[in-house]
Structure 1
């Protein structure tokens, strides 16, 4: 059974722990292995996650499957555009509808959004295919900097 709930500041260490587990499997073969750990530590530092919530207006949700942390999502709104900032699931929880449920949770929390957009690494074929199956289209391909790291992402969007 999947349970999704809004994360509080006290839950951010759980988000960080999930990222440390999920990123190596998610980005294997996409990013150099020696780059994944430092990226996670920079992007998921607790101070950065707190600033996401307290300064940048991001909201986070955690997903549990059968009582175990399975993944997370974060989002924020700029005007009519809702940004899906992070959406990650453990490999064992993919293909079970949890990703779709997380997106639905985000949409319910921002009812006045008119479009949903996200960034996805241009080499992450499984994620791109998932988003396309949810109705997203590639809007642009852009250089991105996450922490001290540079790479290329697709901006994907869909009208709501």
Structure 2
């Protein structure tokens, strides 16, 4: 498994991986209309390009070197809050599940966060997404919850989770 720093040239691939992951992960949780709205706004070319121009925001593609395919991607922002990195996006395509990709991605994130000097990782996870169990198995804990208006009459109903890294 290889983590490849994404560039603007990779935006179409990120968009494709997001769609493939979302269609699997959120089919039972979100309406088709909300999923399309979120994908078209949160994963628009301009939105991702803006992230890539932010020196604290990084995307990495996760490549399966054995079959030269992509398992997914991870997007995070260092210094989101004091000594805190926000894991904005970690999405895996359905066929990568159960291969240890998620665990390796979080270990990779821990390394990058430590290199940067942050000591805490935060993320939002939909209250009905089974990914919460995965995060908890990797040492993340729920510290709050929130309902966030994302426009067009839609909201995100999330748990806020954190992982504290050793000092």
**What's 2:139 paired with?**
135
Whether the 8 Å contact between 1:76 and 1:84 is mirrored in structure 2 is yes
Whether the 8 Å contact between 1:3 and 1:64 is mirrored in structure 2 is yes
Distance change (3 Å), C-alpha of 1:56 and 1:30: farther
Whether the 8 Å contact between 1:24 and 1:33 is mirrored in structure 2 is no
Name the CA distance, whole Å, in 2 between partners of 1:99 and 1:145: 28
Deviations, residues 111-140 of structure 1 (Å, cap 9, x unaligned): 21111110011111x200100000111010
Number of residue equivalences: 158
- For residues 62-101 of structure 1, what are the structure 2 equivalents within 5 Å? 62-65=61-64, 66-77=67-78, 78=80, 79-101=82-104
Identify unmatched segments of 5+ residues in structure 1.
none
**What's 1:117 paired with?**
122
- CA-atom RMSD in angstroms: 1.5
Name the CA distance, whole Å, in 2 between partners of 1:68 and 1:116: 28
Whether the 8 Å contact between 1:42 and 1:147 is mirrored in structure 2 is no
Distance change (3 Å), C-alpha of 1:73 and 1:107: same
Deviation at 1:90, TM superposition (A): 0.8
Name the CA distance, whole Å, in 1 between partners of 2:119 and 2:4: 23
Which ranges of 4 or more aligned residues in structure 1 deviate by more than 4 Å? none
Distance change (3 Å), C-alpha of 1:58 and 1:147: farther
Name the CA distance, whole Å, in 1 between partners of 2:112 and 2:11: 19
> 1:155 and 2:148 equivalent?
no
Distance change (3 Å), C-alpha of 1:146 and 1:97: farther
**What's 2:109 paired with?**
106
Deviation at 1:5, TM superposition (A): 1.2
Name the CA distance, whole Å, in 1 between partners of 2:122 and 2:113: 13
TM-score, normalised relative to structure 1:
0.91
Deviations, residues 44-89 of structure 1 (Å, cap 9, x unaligned): 0010001112147310000122211110001112221111110010
TM-score, normalised relative to structure 2:
0.88
